[in-house]
RNA sequence: GCCGGGGUGAUGGAAUGGUAGACAUACGGGACUUAAAAUCCCGAGAGCCUUUAAACGCUCGUGAGAGUUCGAGUCUCUCCCCCGGCACCA
């Protein structure tokens, strides 16, 4: 009998809907709650795509699994419904965003239900509804009242033809040209507007540090850290000659202060204006400032990085270290918003400064030298010899008299001169004794280098001629012992790009010339690493790390932390967003709208076509409302909020979605949050995650929540590519529509196929023909005959193993291998005339999270209880006997069938019998038996 | 340039340091059928030896090269290539 997916899936979807089967408890047990969340989607007019299906199916399987394990599960869905596409569509067609959005949501909801996803629909929220954005506005007020929201001038991308503000992603034309309007191709200019900011930088440190507490993909954490970009350095003041004004700079390299031969201010730096009277070439300066203003950041970066700038004639600064006068420039390679907006430039030790100095003929002064090889004795080494060489080079030496080794390696300043010594015997491995001793003796933390130490035992010692991937750390592995030199032909050397050295060559190499060679390997004459100071007054001879502190102190500077992270600009000159709850009095002063007037409703009497002002500026209703409530002459704020604001707190709302008094009650938050598992794509989430974490930290600081991280565990689903392994796109016409797949194969098959494709986080191509694999599997399950009488499965361990595997794999979200385990069980059951009772029931139960419709149908038919997740008997996991391989010298020479309780000698004897012909006439040196794994004989 | 993630059959992919290629797709052969579809069974990494043919046997094989180990897809080092993110951040 054929499985009728259409009828059966419909039947169960309707039942689940009517019964509200997945409604979350109002009183979850604290130790048994699980909040499983998907990133709520933007309901695009194109409907659900297969990428959504992947993530949603994974969390659905996990949710159903957790429910079967008797957890109280909260698994909600909502809509990130404000945003640009609906507004752009409105501009084109005049159809109001409300309409298109509601329609899109209906489509999404229908599609999601047709996938059999187990959401609690009683908690559905939409960010565009007044009930929701009332609380988005409340969050604005909350931040404002706590000094975390403020207003200031900021640049926006402006299209002079369309008379509209453009988002950054709208400044790239379809052909990829940057800095132009996406619609009309006009060159985008920069315009200053008063805009609102959230002070996320107040939490910069916590946002970096607390990443250690969460179970997230390492790469996502790294992206967050990079985005925040915390760096430690010094602030140092340079006096301006003949003035009491000072230029404050931020530098991570105060150790190079003596090499600072000029300074650069960002063109927008206030001091440039303050110094106007002293500047002799003001008109040139003014022109340059004007030019910079009209450049977007994209321009600044895209112009080939050719350095430009103008000297401030008549202004000189004094290097506080050596009291020398240096000239001052403005240049757009220095950013106003980072550090102090001014730098001391050290052309000898910074690539950018070097480029600029070359162009403007500014003197270069070297003040840091790479540490040079000083001691390669001809006598035994002494423990305390300053044994050093150049540029992050690794050197390992074998002591030629005492058969001991000495290794040395560093990559950066903090590693400087670390000496690895110790009595390391030939026989030791890097794994145990050596590592331990070396760690204790030197405090050296880099395990990798210890791994390297074991390499010394090997036969080959090489010097790569080319730079390795660190760009500046060629690896030297050498042996000074007399004796074997491998003779290698010139071709061989060229082929492997290695330089083989005899002991004699090595001696030369390691002395005077070694430094020069290392230098020549390195990039030209530029040295940006740490080292030993030269030409730096009393600091000469000091190491960089120490000098940083001491030099900073000597010029009354201070050590500070600086961040790349800027405050979050939330103003959008857009219609389809949450209105910013602010009004202006007749003097133009901003006032927050009192909470009792929320929601501050988005008006509908606006045109969507750009008219040079934010769309809300045209609303008569909004203006009237403002004057009516606040008085004559008052004006409303006409910008709306970035949609990231809406998505920064929605996970709180799901805990208590209908609360009219609070964004969520403390009680509900206490019960459900934080989110236990959060699933979403990796592509656009750096900002979302950062902003959500910021909101949580702000709430925590003011006592609303008791935790600082909203998402305990985060996983990403990968991108699903089209069949030709390119990105799916409407223009290429290679988009797969889930509706079509469901119609053809059913929702269960689609769900299982997407999970079976590969690891959830991997990027993988769609393949329609591969769906037949899981579709066939489901058909075979449906056809499988269940025995009426009780029979034992001959290979009962297969059943126990399947339960174990599927349970562990779902827990780890390795759903592809969980499914293949189910397939193996089915294959096994099909070898029998009829499937034994217990095994059949277990199969259907294990299948339930993956293919809930079919499992429910079969469960109903056979009276199977799907509410309890199966367990397994540990003792049944192992088969009575196993086949293990017999190796001789590591090569497989046969297999042997061994009972579970076979003794080592029995096993080895059985092995000898099998491998007899390989052992004859040889001396057995070693015999290994690893139970359940392998037998290996070492012979010579 | 910097930071991540990868490289395994024709394809998607499996493999706590222990018989590489599970599971599936496509493919080849067979059964059933008037035929096709569906279904079921069997085969299959590359090469060599021998041979009518096969079996047996052997060698090689997880991007390349080296190392550690009784044993490496897995650990260490170097090199090559692909993908993603950031990018004048001092």
A474, closest nucleotide (Cα–C1'): B78
The pLDDT of A322-346, averaged and rounded, is 91
Cβ of A434 near strand B (distance < 7 A): no
Nearest-nucleotide field for A223 (CA, C1')? B85
Overall average pLDDT of the A542-553 stretch:
88
| pLDDT, position A223 | 86
Tell whether omega for the bond before A599 is within 30 degrees of 0, i.e. cis: yes
- Please report the pLDDT score of residue A168 as a whole number: 67
Give the residue, A477 or A774, on which the prediction is more confident.
Answer: A774
The gap between A770 CA and B27 C1' (Å) is: 14
HEC per residue, A696-736: HHHHHHCCCCCCCCCECEEEEECCEECCCCCCCCCCCCCCC
Query: Who's near A827: CB < 8 A, 6+ residues apart?
Result: none
Q: Are A332 and A300 in contact (CB under 8 A)?
A: yes
d(CA A418, CA A94): 70
Among A455, A456, A476, CA closest to A521: A476
Cβ < 7 Å from strand B, A residues 247-306: 250-253, 266, 297, 300-301, 303, 305-306
Of A71-80, A301-310, A437-446, A628-637, minimum mean pLDDT range: A437-446
Helix ranges (H only) for A229-327 are 270-274, 282-293, 297-302
Strand B nucleotides within 7 Å of a protein CB: 1-5, 11-16, 18-20, 22-26, 38-41, 58-59, 65-72, 75-80, 83-90
Going by C-alpha positions, the residue among A580, A528, A391 that lies closest to residue A468 is A391
Mean pLDDT of A489-510: 36
**A770 CA – B10 C1', rounded, Å:** 14
Taking the CA of residue A443 and the C1' sugar atom of nucleotide B80, their distance in angstroms comes to 35
Q: Which residue has the higher pLDDT, A286 or A452?
A: A286
Q: What per-residue confidence (pLDDT) applies to A478?
A: 33
What pLDDT sits at residue A193? Answer: 84
A192 vs A480, more confident: A192
| Spatial distance between the Cα atoms of A527 and A913, rounded to a whole number of angstroms | 66
Task: Name A440's Cβ contacts closer than 8 Å, sequence gap at least 6.
Answer: none
Residue A486 has pLDDT above 70, yes or no: no
Selected residue with higher pLDDT from A187 and A645: A645
Confidence of residue A715 (pLDDT cuts 50, 70, 90): very high
> Which residue, A720, A718, A695, is CA-closest to A705?
A695
> What average pLDDT score do residues A901-930 get?
80
Q: Which of A122-136, A367-381, A643-657 is the least confident region?
A: A367-381
**pLDDT tens-digit series, residues A704-713:** 999 999 999 9
Q: Strand B proximity: list residues 461-490 of A with CB under 7 Å.
A: 464, 466-471, 473, 475
Structure confidence at residue A691 as a pLDDT band (50, 70, 90):
very high
Q: Using pLDDT thresholds of 50, 70 and 90, give the confidence band for residue A303.
A: low
Mean pLDDT of chain A: 79
pLDDT confidence of residue A782 = 92
Predicted complex: ipTM over 0.90: yes
pLDDT band at A260 (very low <50, low <70, confident <90, very high): very high
Decide the pairing of beta strands A677-681 and A33-38. parallel
Contact A506, A480 (CB under 8 A): yes
The DSSP result for A314-362, as a single string, is EEEEE-TTT--EEEEEE-TTS-TTSTTSEEEE-TTT-HHHHHHHHHHT-
Spacing of A816 CA from B48 C1' in Å: 38
Q: Residue count of chain A, please give it.
A: 940
Highest mean pLDDT among A74-78, A214-218, A471-475, A715-719: A74-78
DSSP string, A400-460: TTT--EEEE--SSGGGTT-EE-----TT--IIIIIHHHHHHHH----HHHHHHHHHTTSS-
> Which residues touch A103 (CB under 8 Å, ≥6 apart)?
A45
> pLDDT of A845-854, one tens digit each?
999 999 999 9
Distance, CA of A695 to CA of A673 (rounded, Å): 14
For A753, phi and psi rounded to 5 degrees?
Answer: -60, -50
Average pLDDT over residues A483-491: 32
Per-residue confidence at A299, pLDDT binned at 50, 70, 90?
A: low
**pLDDT bucket at A789, cuts 50 / 70 / 90:** low
Q: Residues A195-230: pLDDT tens digits?
A: 899 999 999 999 999 998 899 988 888 888 888 988
Q: Are A255 and A321 in contact (CB under 8 A)?
A: no
pLDDT of A476 over the 70 cut? no
What is the reported pLDDT for A175? 57
Statement: residue A23 has pLDDT above 90: yes
Distance CA(A828)–CA(A748), nearest Å, equals 22
State the pLDDT at residue A445. 30
Please tell me whether any atom of strand B lies within 7 Å of the Cβ of A189. no
Q: pLDDT-derived band of residue A301, with 50, 70 and 90 as boundaries?
A: low
Which pLDDT score, from 0 to 100, does residue A305 have?
66
The pair of structure tokens assigned to A936 is: 């290996």
pLDDT confidence band for A421 (50 / 70 / 90): very low
pLDDT value at residue A300: 59
What is the pLDDT averaged over residues A236-256? Answer: 92
Give the span between the Cα atoms of A613 and A619, in whole angstroms. Answer: 11
The nucleotide whose C1' lies nearest the CA of A760 is: B13
Q: What is the pLDDT of residue A246?
A: 93
Strand partners, A251: A234
- Which nucleotide lies at the shortest CA–C1' distance from A826? B23
A523 touches strand B (CB under 7 A): no
Per-residue pLDDT at A812: 92
Contact status, residue A301 vs residue A261, Cβ threshold 8 Å: no
**Pick from A293-307, A328-342, A625-639, A873-887: least confident:** A293-307
| Cα A608 to Cα A631: distance, rounded to the nearest angstrom | 28
What confidence score (pLDDT) does residue A794 get?
A: 65
- The more confident residue out of A612 and A638 is A638
Percent residues over pLDDT 90 in chain A: 47
Residue A740 confidence (pLDDT): 92
- Report the pLDDT value the prediction gives residue A777, as an integer from 0 to 100: 94
Contacts of A533 (CB under 8 A, 6+ apart): A255, A258, A367, A368, A369, A539, A540, A541, A542, A543, A544, A547
Tokens of A340: 């102090």
Give the nucleotide nearest to A448 (CA→C1').
Answer: B76
pLDDT at A378: 23
* Mean pLDDT within A510-531: 45
Tell me the CA–C1' distance in angstroms for A907 and B47. 34
- Which among A825, A826, A629, A854 is positioned nearest to A745, based on CA atoms? A854
Q: At CA A915, angle to CA A912 and CA A916, rounded to 5?
A: 75
Confidence at residue A283, expressed as pLDDT on a 0 to 100 scale = 93
Q: How far is the CA of A496 from the C1' of B80 (A)?
A: 12
Q: What pLDDT sits at residue A177?
A: 62
pLDDT for the residue numbered A400: 29
In terms of DSSP bridges, do strands A532-533 and A368-369 run parallel, antiparallel, or are they unpaired?
antiparallel
How do residues A859-898 score in pLDDT, each as one tens digit? 999 899 999 999 988 777 776 777 788 888 888 888 888 7
What pLDDT, on a 0 to 100 scale, did the predictor assign at position A370? Answer: 59
| Dist CA A368 CA A473 (whole Å) | 18
Mean pLDDT of A50-71: 95
Residue in the structure block whose two tokens are 């190079």 = A256
DSSP 8-class letter at A27: S
Distance CA A144, CA A197 (A): 10
Task: Please report which confidence band the pLDDT of residue A302 belongs to, taking 50, 70 and 90 as the band edges.
Answer: low
Least trusted range by pLDDT, from A318-322, A338-342, A516-520, A733-737? A516-520
């Amino acid at each position: 009998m054929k499985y009728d997916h259409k009828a059966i899936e419909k039947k169960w979807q309707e039942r689940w809907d009517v019964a509200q089967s997945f409604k979350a408890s109002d009183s979850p047990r604290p130790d048994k709650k699980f909040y499983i969340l998907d990133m709520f989607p933007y309901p695009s007019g194109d409907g659900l795509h297969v990428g959504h299906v992947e993530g949603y199916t994974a969390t659905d399987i996990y949710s159903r699994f957790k429910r079967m394990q008797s957890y109280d599960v909260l698994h909600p869905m909502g809509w990130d419904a404000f945003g640009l596409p609906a507004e752009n569509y409105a501009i084109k067609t005049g159809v109001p965003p409300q309409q298109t959005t509601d329609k899109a949501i209906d489509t999404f909801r229908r599609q999601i239900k047709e996938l059999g996803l187990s959401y609690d629909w009683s908690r559905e929220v939409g960010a565009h509804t007044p009930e929701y954005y009332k609380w988005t506005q409340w969050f604005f007020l909350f931040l404002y009242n706590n000094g975390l929201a403020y207003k200031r001038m900021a640049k926006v991308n402006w299209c002079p033809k369309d008379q509209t503000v453009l988002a950054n992603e709208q400044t790239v034309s379809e052909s990829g040209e940057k800095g132009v309007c996406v619609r009309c191709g006009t060159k985008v200019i920069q315009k200053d507007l008063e805009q609102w900011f959230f002070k996320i930088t107040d939490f910069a440190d916590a946002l970096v540090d607390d990443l250690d507490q969460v179970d997230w993909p390492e790469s996502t954490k790294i992206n967050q850290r990079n985005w925040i970009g915390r760096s430690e350095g010094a602030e140092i003041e340079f006096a301006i000659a003949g003035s009491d004004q000072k230029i404050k700079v931020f530098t991570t390299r105060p150790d190079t202060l003596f090499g600072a031969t000029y300074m650069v201010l960002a063109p927008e730096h206030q001091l440039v204006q303050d110094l106007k009277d002293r500047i002799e070439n003001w008109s040139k300066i003014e022109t340059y400032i004007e030019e910079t203003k009209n450049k977007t950041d994209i321009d600044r970066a895209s112009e080939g990085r050719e350095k430009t700038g103008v000297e401030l004639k008549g202004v000189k600064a004094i290097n506080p270290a050596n009291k020398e006068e240096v000239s001052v420039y403005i240049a757009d390679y220095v950013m106003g918003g980072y550090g102090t907006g001014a730098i001391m430039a050290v052309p000898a030790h910074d690539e950018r400064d070097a480029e600029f100095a070359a162009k403007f003929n500014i003197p270069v002064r070297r003040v840091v030298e790479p540490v040079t090889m000083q001691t390669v004795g001809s006598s035994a080494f002494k423990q305390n010899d300053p044994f050093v060489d150049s540029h992050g080079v690794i050197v390992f030496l074998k002591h030629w008299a005492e058969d001991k080794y000495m290794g040395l390696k560093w990559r950066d300043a903090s590693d400087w001169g670390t000496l690895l010594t110790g009595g390391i015997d030939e026989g030791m491995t890097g794994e145990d004794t050596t590592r331990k001793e070396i760690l204790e003796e030197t405090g050296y933390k880099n395990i990798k280098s210890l791994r390297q130490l074991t390499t010394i035992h090997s036969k080959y010692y090489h010097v790569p001629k080319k730079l390795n991937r660190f760009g500046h750390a060629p690896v030297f592995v050498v042996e000074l012992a007399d004796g074997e030199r491998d003779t290698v032909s010139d071709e061989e050397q060229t082929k492997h790009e290695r330089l083989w050295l005899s002991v004699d060559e090595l001696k030369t190499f390691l002395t005077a010339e070694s430094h020069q060679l290392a230098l020549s390997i390195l990039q030209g004459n530029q040295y940006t690493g740490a080292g030993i100071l030269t030409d730096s007054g009393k600091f000469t001879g000091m190491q960089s790390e120490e000098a940083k502190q001491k030099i900073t102190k000597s010029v009354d500077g201070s050590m500070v932390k600086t961040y790349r992270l800027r405050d979050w600009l939330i103003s959008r000159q857009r219609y389809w967003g949450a209105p910013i709850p602010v009004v202006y009095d007749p003097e133009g002063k901003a006032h927050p709208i009192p909470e009792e007037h929320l929601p501050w409703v988005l008006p509908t009497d606006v045109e969507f076509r750009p008219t040079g002002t934010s769309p809300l500026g045209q609303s008569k209703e909004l203006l009237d409302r403002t004057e009516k409530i606040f008085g004559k002459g008052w004006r409303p704020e006409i910008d709306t909020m970035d949609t990231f604001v809406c998505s920064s707190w929605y996970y709180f709302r799901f805990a208590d979605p209908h609360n009219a008094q609070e964004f969520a009650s403390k009680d509900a938050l206490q019960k459900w949050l934080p989110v236990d598992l959060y699933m979403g794509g990796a592509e656009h989430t750096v900002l979302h995650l950062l902003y959500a974490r910021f909101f949580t930290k702000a709430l925590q600081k003011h006592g609303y929540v008791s935790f600082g991280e909203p998402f305990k565990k985060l996983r990403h689903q990968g991108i699903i590519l089209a069949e030709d392994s390119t990105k799916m796109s409407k223009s290429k016409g290679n988009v797969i529509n889930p509706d079509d797949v469901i119609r053809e194969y059913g929702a269960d098959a689609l769900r299982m196929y997407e999970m079976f494709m590969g690891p959830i986080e991997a990027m993988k191509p769609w393949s329609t023909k591969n769906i037949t694999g899981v579709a066939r599997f489901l058909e075979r399950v449906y056809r499988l005959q269940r025995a009426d009488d009780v029979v034992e499965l001959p290979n009962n361990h297969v059943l126990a193993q399947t339960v174990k595997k599927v349970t562990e794999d779902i827990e780890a979200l390795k759903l592809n291998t969980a499914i293949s385990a189910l397939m193996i069980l089915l294959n096994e059951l099909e070898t029998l005339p009829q499937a034994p009772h217990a095994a059949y029931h277990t199969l259907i139960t294990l299948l339930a999270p993956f293919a809930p419709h079919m499992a429910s149908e079969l469960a109903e038919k056979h009276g199977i209880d799907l509410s309890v997740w199966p367990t397994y008997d540990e003792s049944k996991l192992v088969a009575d006997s196993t086949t293990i391989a017999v190796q001789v010298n590591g090569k497989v020479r046969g297999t042997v069938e061994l009972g579970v309780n076979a003794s080592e000698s029995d096993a080895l004897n059985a092995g000898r019998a099998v491998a007899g012909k390989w052992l004859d006439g040889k001396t057995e040196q070693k015999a290994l038996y690893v139970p359940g794994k392998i037998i290996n004989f070492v012979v010579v």
